[in-house]
Amino acid sequence: ETGVTQTPRHLVMGMTNKKSLKCEQHLGHNAMYWYKQSAKKPLELMFVYSLEERVENNSVPSRFSPECPNSSHLFLHLHTLQPEDSALYLCASSQEETGLGYEQYFGPGTRLTVT
């Protein structure tokens, strides 16, 4: 247990559905992250939040919409996804933003399948 939980662990959705992924960290960290992990590709950083403000958006399609209501919770809202969006979505947190060199602690991920 790393102190970062994610729900659901598995999600199957159609291309017209709307769903949300939830992440919660119990570590008292100030920064949270969403990553996408596809087979045979490096982890892709999608979003970075620091003190609930978005500081990084790596040109992610608008069908992915993050929300960070407080420093402990992070959501990823999904709508009209494509089959190529099927992947493992990982949430992470760190004491501060990445640039300060703090290690990140990861949740177990949500395995998303888009049909």
Partner 1 sequence: AQKVTQAQTEISVVEKEDVTLDCVYETRDTTYYLFWYKQPPSGELVFLIRRNSFDEQNEISGRYSWNFQKSTSSFNFTITASQVVDSAVYFCALSETTGNQFYFGTGTSLTVIP
Contacts with partner 1, residue ranges (CB under 8 A): 2, 33, 40-43, 45, 48, 55-56, 88, 90, 92, 97-101, 103-109, 111
- The angle at the Cα of 17, spanning 15 to 21, to the nearest 5 degrees, equals 105
Query: What is the distance between the alpha carbons of residues 110 and 86, in angstroms, rounded to a whole number?
Result: 10
Q: How many residues does the chain have?
A: 115
CB of residue 24 to partner 1, shortest distance in Å: 14
CB of residue 49 to partner 1, shortest distance in Å: 11
Nearer to partner 1, 15 or 27 (CB): 27
Nearer to partner 1, 12 or 100 (CB): 100
Helix (H, G, I), strand (E, B) or coil at 73: strand
Pairing of strands 110-114, 10-13: parallel
Nearer to partner 1, 41 or 84 (CB): 41
